[in-house]
Amino acid sequence: MTSKVHLPYFDHLLELLKDQNQTAIAAFGRHVHWGYWEDPSSADGSIPDFANAAEQLSRRVCDAAKITDGLKILDCGCGFGGTIASLNERFSNLEMVGVNIDERQLERARSQVHPLNQNSISFVCADACNLPFEDNSFDVVLAVECIFHFPSRETFFKEARRVLKPGGYLAICDFVPLKFSLPFTHLIGKFLTTSVHNTYGTIKSNFSLSTYRQLAQKTGFITRIEEDITRNTLPTYPLVRKLFRENGAAETEKITAGAELVSKLGITRYLILSFEAIDP
């Protein structure tokens, strides 16, 4: 089955996984996102260290959503189900649904992630901006490092608010440019549009923190957590660039180096954000 979205890095990754590439399995077989190192100087550049850091990032986003046993959780843009797998191992009596626009990824998720601890798990192919779920039906909505791919952050927030119960949490992580740098990042983006399209697919990195705050207010949320973890994610870049280089993905390596530069310069920050749904 082909993907409805244009995600060349996933096309490449799925090929590597199909070929049983052990490095790809260890690095991205569960989570497909950046790592979080509490102490970035401790990063040793190894794949197991990166996989552990990716697990830590997932846990931090879940912590921002105040997840406890017994909740009903929707993970939007769920990749291979890594965040659901992590929750499945750590909590009990959860009802978890993973949503992804790419059925190929869901096939892997279904084959890898099986319920433990009286949890229930299902994976549904859908667009995060058009969720096939009833109003007020979830306690938590997650979007781990994927909102930049969605057709619209505004529509996604409205959908998340619609399916959340009052008092429920939306937690995300995203690459967030500083407001003053938006004209600059817009200009650079114009030059790099084709390269980004050819590597990471459709990405929108135009949402500053103040725009997030306004969106949250407009769509029925109170912002609860704004955590800047940029420095904790930086060891991701050399490792991921090396993996792309070794797999002949020179253009992806170049774009990743650009993302590393704007992160190191503080022009784009990696934020964990959480929002509480309030009564309309």
Ligand X SMILES: C[S@@+](CC[C@H](N)C(=O)[O-])C[C@H]1O[C@@H](n2cnc3c(N)ncnc32)[C@H](O)[C@@H]1O
The answer to the question of residue 82 lying near ligand X (CB under 6 A) is: yes
E-strand spans in the chain?
72-76, 95-100, 120-125, 138-144, 164-177, 221-228, 268-277
Inter-helix orientation angle 82-90/47-64, to 10°: 70
Minimum CB–partner distance for residue 250 and ligand X (Å)? 20
Q: Which stretch binds ligand X (CB under 6 A): 27-35, 161-169, 179-187, 262-270?
A: 27-35
> Residues 50, 71, 127, 272: which binds ligand X (CB under 6 A)?
127
H-assigned helices in 146-246:
153-163, 182-199, 209-219, 230-233, 236-246
Minimum CB–partner distance for residue 180 and ligand X (Å)? 27
The residue behind tokens 């949890």 is 119
Structural contact between residues 67 and 135, judged by C-beta atoms closer than 8 angstroms: no
3-state secondary structure of 123: strand
106-111-115-116 Cα dihedral, nearest 10 degrees? -130
> Residues 64, 99, 131, 176: which binds ligand X (CB under 6 A)?
99
Identify residues 133-192 at the interface with ligand X (CB under 6 A).
144-146, 149-151
> Residues 86, 88, 105, 252: which binds ligand X (CB under 6 A)?
105
Give the nearer residue to ligand X in terms of CB position, either 213 or 230.
Answer: 230
Give the nearer residue to ligand X in terms of CB position, either 102 or 139.
Answer: 102
Structural contact between residues 110 and 84, judged by C-beta atoms closer than 8 angstroms: no
Give the nearer residue to ligand X in terms of CB position, either 139 or 145.
Answer: 145
Distance CA 23, CA 105 (A): 18
Minimum CB–partner distance for residue 82 and ligand X (Å)? 4
Angle at 203 between CA 197 and CA 205, to 5 degrees: 135
Minimum CB–partner distance for residue 140 and ligand X (Å)? 14
Minimum CB–partner distance for residue 179 and ligand X (Å)? 24
The answer to the question of residue 31 lying near ligand X (CB under 6 A) is: yes
Minimum CB–partner distance for residue 69 and ligand X (Å)? 22
Q: Which stretch binds ligand X (CB under 6 A): 70-78, 208-216, 237-245, 269-277?
A: 70-78
Give the nearer residue to ligand X in terms of CB position, either 75 or 139.
Answer: 75
Count of beta carbons in the 10 Å neighbourhood of residue 216: 22
The answer to the question of residue 55 lying near ligand X (CB under 6 A) is: no
Bridge partners (DSSP) of residue 76 are: 99, 143
The answer to the question of residue 79 lying near ligand X (CB under 6 A) is: yes
Q: Which of 71, 126, 72 is nearest to 101 (CA)?
A: 126
> Residues 14, 16, 24, 33: which binds ligand X (CB under 6 A)?
33
Please report, as ranges, the residues that interact with ligand X according to CB under 6 A.
5, 7, 31-33, 76-79, 82-83, 99-102, 105, 127-129, 144-146, 149-151
